[in-house]
């Protein structure tokens, strides 16, 4: 199985900050990398798919980049509603696998 | 807008079979446009892909669960189902169903999730 490693596991930041979360795959996955946001008690919500494509309706402050094994999710200016847990997910091979998550908390 | 809704028992005894159904509204699971998956998430932990159903009846399963897992569908009811046998406490989790967009392979619509507890 492809292992996905996110860093950091948790992050404290303030409204207005620029934040970057990284995700590394244990083998190349081309650009088959998706990012999800999950709030407590809620299902995940897709933000970015195929590494850099913004899902319809997602604010443009979210962006993704990378290919091969290394990927990033950037939030350009944190808003109060962005405090959540973020997961990367590879869809290059089944079984699909997720990173362990990055919990973004208010500083 | 597509809606997915999980249903099934919230409590299952150890060694028994966990059975859940996902009912899809405003889309057809039998049209060759989307795939349909199950996930789970133990409390306070990350997400695990369980497996998926393709229109036409094909399935893919997570290798870690394959020996205990069956995913099936009832197109007449626009539902797909999960059956996980010989459960233990380690199978306690919130279970989600979701729709996958082929070619880009991401999940665009999810059910709200249902908690299944394995306990005697």
pLDDT in tens, B16-54: 999 999 999 988 888 768 999 999 999 999 999 999 998
Q: Are the beta carbons of A94 and B107 separated by less than 8 Å? A: no
Length of chain B: 120
- List chain A residues with CB under 8 Å of B54: none
How near does any CA of chain B get to the CA of A98, in Å? 6
CA distance A77 to chain B (A): 24
Q: Are the CB atoms for A6 and A19 separated by under 8 Å?
A: no
3-class DSSP state for residue A17? coil
Strands A33-38, A85-90: pairing kind: antiparallel
pLDDT at B55: 80
Average pLDDT, chain B: 95
Chain B CB contacts of A1 below 8 Å: 63
Which pLDDT value is given to residue B23? 97
Asked if B107 and A46 come within 8 Å (Cβ–Cβ), the reply is yes
């Amino acid at each position: 199985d492809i292992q996905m490693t996110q860093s950091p596991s948790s992050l404290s930041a303030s409204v207005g900050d620029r934040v970057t979360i990284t995700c590394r795959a244990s083998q190349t996955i081309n650009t088959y990398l998706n990012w999800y946001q999950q709030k407590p008690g809620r299902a995940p919500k897709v933000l970015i798919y195929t590494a850099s494509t913004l899902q319809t309706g997602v604010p443009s402050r979210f962006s993704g980049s990378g290919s091969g094994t290394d990927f990033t999710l950037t939030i350009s200016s944190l808003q109060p509603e962005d405090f959540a847990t973020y997961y990367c997910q590879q869809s290059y091979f089944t079984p699909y696998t997720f990173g362990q998550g990055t919990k973004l908390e208010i500083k | 807008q597509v809606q997915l809704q999980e249903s099934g028992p919230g409590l299952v005894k150890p060694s028994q079979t966990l059975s859940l159904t996902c009912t899809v509204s405003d889309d057809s699971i039998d049209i060759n446009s989307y795939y349909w998956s199950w996930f789970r998430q133990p409390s306070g932990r990350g997400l695990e892909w369980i497996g998926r159903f393709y229109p036409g009846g094909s399935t893919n399963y997570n290798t870690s669960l394959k020996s205990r897992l069956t995913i099936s569908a009832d197109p007449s009811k626009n539902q797909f189902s999960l059956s996980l046998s010989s459960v233990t406490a380690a199978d306690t989790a919130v279970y989600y169903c979701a729709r996958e967009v082929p070619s880009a392979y991401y999940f665009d619509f999810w059910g709200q999730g249902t908690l299944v507890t394995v306990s005697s």
